Amino acid sequence: MELSDNEFVARYRGGDSAAFAELARRWDRRVYALAYRVTGDAADAGDVRQQAFLRAQGALSTFNGQSTFATWMYRVVVNLCRDRLRSKEARNRHLGAMRARAEEADYGSPPSGREHERREVAAQVAEAVGSLPEAEREVVVLRHYQGLTFAQIAEVLGGPVSTVKSRMAKALALLRTRLKDVDG
Partner 1 sequence: MNDQMNTSPSCDEVRQEIAALLYGELEAEMRAAVERHLDGCPSCRAEHAQQRQTMALLDHWLEPALPESPVAGVTKPEPAFPGRMRVFRLLRPLAYGAAAAVVLFGLLILLGAEARYRDGQITLTLGRGAPQADRHLDLLSDTQGAVQVRRLAGEECDQRIEELVGLLAEEFAELNRRQEQRQVLLARALDVQRARDRDTQMAALEVLARGVGRDSARQRRAIGNIYDLMDAGGVVPASHVEPQRKD
**Secondary structure (DSSP) of 144-167:** IIT---HHHHHHHH-S-HHHHHHH
For position 59 contacting partner 1 by CB under 8 A, the verdict is no
Site string for partner 1, 141-160 (x = CB under 8 A): --xxx---xx----------
d(CA 18, CA 36) in angstroms, rounded, equals: 27
The closest alpha carbon to 125, from 143, 147, 103, belongs to: 103
**Residue from the set 9, 45, 73, 157 that interacts with partner 1 by CB under 8 A:** 45
Sole window of 1-9, 69-77, 99-107 interacting with partner 1 (rule: CB under 8 A): 99-107
Among 33, 71, 100, 134, binds partner 1 (CB under 8 A): 33
Contacts of partner 1 in 106-145 (CB under 8 A): 106-107, 118, 121-122, 125-126, 129, 140, 143-145
Q: Identify the CA nearest to 146 among candidates 3, 31, 41.
A: 31
Give the helix, strand, coil percentages of the chain, each rounded to 5.
Answer: 80, 0, 20
**Least distance (Å) between residue 131 CB and partner 1:** 13
Q: Give per-residue burial for 120-136: e unless 16+ CB within 10 Å, then b.
A: eebbbbbbbbbbbeeeb
Q: Which residues bind partner 1 (CB under 8 A)?
A: 17, 20-21, 24-25, 28-29, 32-33, 36-37, 42-43, 45-47, 49-51, 53-54, 57, 101-102, 105-107, 118, 121-122, 125-126, 129, 140, 143-145, 149-150, 162, 165-166, 168-169, 172, 175-176, 179, 182, 184
